[in-house]
Every structure is written in structure tokens, then in C-alpha cells.
Amino acid sequence: MKTVMIADDSAFMRTWLKKLVENHNYRVIVQARDGEEAIKQYSLYRPQLVLLDITMPKVDGLQALKGITALDPKASVVMCSSLATSSHINEAKKAGAVDFVVKPHFHGLIDILNRAAENHSPDSPS
């Protein structure tokens, strides 16, 4: 079972996402309320996949993404945000996000996680 970290400032959204991914054979091992906490939790737990919001206090999701990929350039981070502007999507992908999902609909989230898990598994070529 693949491990996941969910980073979102909304407790409701973290709970909703946790239920969604755990119903599809993923295990949420850690959650974060802001970008600063996301970087710290990633360094401690090293989840296989990260769901990361953009708009969060202290450190926003794009800066957290940069912090996580600085720790682990092969981190599998999927950005989840209602701020799906082309500039945010491009910046996220440039900083190392494997994909971008628009809140609150999350169309294709499980397919995206499945691809990210497959493409970033330890056995897959880089």
C-alpha cells in the first residue's frame, strides 16, 4: 500500500481527501496544516506521494513544493488547488510537481495518484 501525506490548511479538506484516497488502497501516514509543517513532516516520514494545496499559511504550497523537492528531487507531489491558473500550474510543474488537480472536484485524482505511484516507484527507471 502506497503512503501519502496530505497538506492543506482546511481540516475538512484533509479529512475528505483522506477518506477518498484510503478508499482506493492508499494509506495516509501524515497530514500538515501549512507549508512549513509539510516540509518538516515530509523530511520525517518520507511518504511515497504528497497531496499539496497552494494557499496555506506560513509557507504557501509552491514554496513547500520547492522545499520538499530540495529534500528529495524524486518526490511525487500532486498539487491540489482551486487556484488553477496557467501560471500556478506551470510554476508547480517547473518546481517538480508531477501533476495538478483542481479543487474541489478532484477529477481524475486517483488515476493521477496511480500514475505517480507507478512512475515514481523505487523500481521504475528515472
Cβ distance 118 to 112 under 8 Å? no
Q: Residue 35 and residue 54: Cα distance in Å, rounded?
A: 9
Nearest to 80 by CA among 43, 113, 47, 57: 113
pTM: predicted TM-score of the whole model, two decimal places: 0.91
51 CB burial (10 A radius; 0-12, 13-18, 19+): buried
pLDDT of residue 121: 57
**Cα 56 from chain centroid (whole Å):** 13
pLDDT of residue 126: 38
The full set of domain ranges for the chain reads 2-119
pLDDT of residue 84: 74
CATH of 2-119, one of 3.10.129.10, 3.30.420.40, 3.40.50.2300, 3.30.1440.10: 3.40.50.2300
Q: Which position has the grid cell 516507484?
A: 121
pLDDT of residue 85: 77
> Can you give the pLDDT of all 126 residues of the chain as single tens digits?
899 999 999 999 999 999 999 999 999 999 999 999 999 999 999 999 999 999 999 999 999 999 999 999 999 999 998 877 788 889 999 999 999 998 887 778 999 999 998 876 554 443
Cβ distance 48 to 77 under 8 Å? no
